[in-house]
Amino acid sequence: MKETVSFSKDAANLFFHILTGCNLSCRHCYINPDQHGTHMLAIETIEAWLRLFARRNHAAHVIFLGGEPTLHPELSQAVHTARDFGYRSVTIDTNGYLFHDILHKIAPEDIDYFSFSLDGATAAVNDRIRGDGSFQHCTDGIRSAVSRGFHTSLIYTVSQENIHELPLMPTFLAELGVKRFFIQVLGLRGQSAGVNHRDSRVSRTNWLQVVPSTAETAADLGIITVYPKVFLELDEPFECAGRVADNYFVFPNGRVYRCPLCEDYPIHSLCIEENQLISAGPINEKDLFALDIPEGCVMNKLIQPENLTYDDQGAPEYKIACCLLKEELRPK
């Protein structure tokens, strides 16, 4: 069964970057130290901020991110605190190195998923993007997590460098025992915003030829598969998650964004000061969410207009969807 995931005002997602440091230097890393900070949050601050967002929405899902979150020596305590505060689900995003013996400090019932990042079906492709040895470490980490009874998911960021291996992933993930598959589009943020990376984005034609069919294959193998809509026909409605959804992208310097495409700029709509959530003054991302343009996503038009094409009359040939609008395929 195929369904488009709807935005809901009754649910919230807290994407909690508890540090920005990492042991890898992935070519498409979106972390921008100048905008996000460089320090690791103390566990007391993590717990205070978890409490802050739990009070704001008791049904929130929390995803612990970095950098590499398992580099935080007290991640396990943060996980237990999130459970105690009643978060609907708890996920750890990881590159697979699984530092500080994290698999032995929490139990499968403590988290819903370990979500691993891998950007190739082979070491040759993945390691060119994520660093030497990262393929082996990540796949070893997945096998270790599965063997201990944890549910695992995998994130694959599609670029020109690895889209040819995307069709190989469903069978590979089924063999590894991965339960969910997230296919991500490369966004021009952080490292990938540089001039040398702008040609790494996948064209509309290539995306539509490869991604939906790969998702179908993965679902047929029993893997829940989620991928961004990206391209809308002109007659399809555009929805901005910033208007209707409750998503918070929190960074160690206290900035809180509602849209990930805004994260390279000091236009965050919220910030945390003295453990309180404060609205930022204009002009910020919230002001941009209110704009309606024929091309769909305003931020896409501003920062990556190469995603769009126009006819001879100067009218867009399609729209770009909100990056948080997803297609979800569940096993038949």
Read off the pLDDT of residues 14-59 as tens digits, 9 standing for 90 and up.
999 999 999 999 989 999 999 999 999 999 999 999 999 999 877 8
Question: Which region holds residue 42: left if phi is over 0, alpha if psi is between -120 and 50, else beta?
Answer: beta
pLDDT at 62 over 60: yes
The model's pLDDT over 69-115, given as tens digits with 9 standing for 90+, comes to 999 999 999 999 999 999 999 999 999 999 999 999 999 999 999 99
Provide the whole-model pTM.
Answer: 0.94
pLDDT at 199 over 70: no
Q: State yes or no: cis peptide before 283, omega within 30 of 0.
A: yes
Could you give the angle at which helices 204-220 and 169-176 cross, rounded to 10 degrees? 30
CATH of the domain spanning 2-329: 3.20.20.70
Alpha-carbon gap, residue 198 to 211, rounded angstroms: 20
The model's pLDDT over 313-332, given as tens digits with 9 standing for 90+, comes to 999 999 999 988 888 898 87
- Tokens found for residue 326: 């997803």
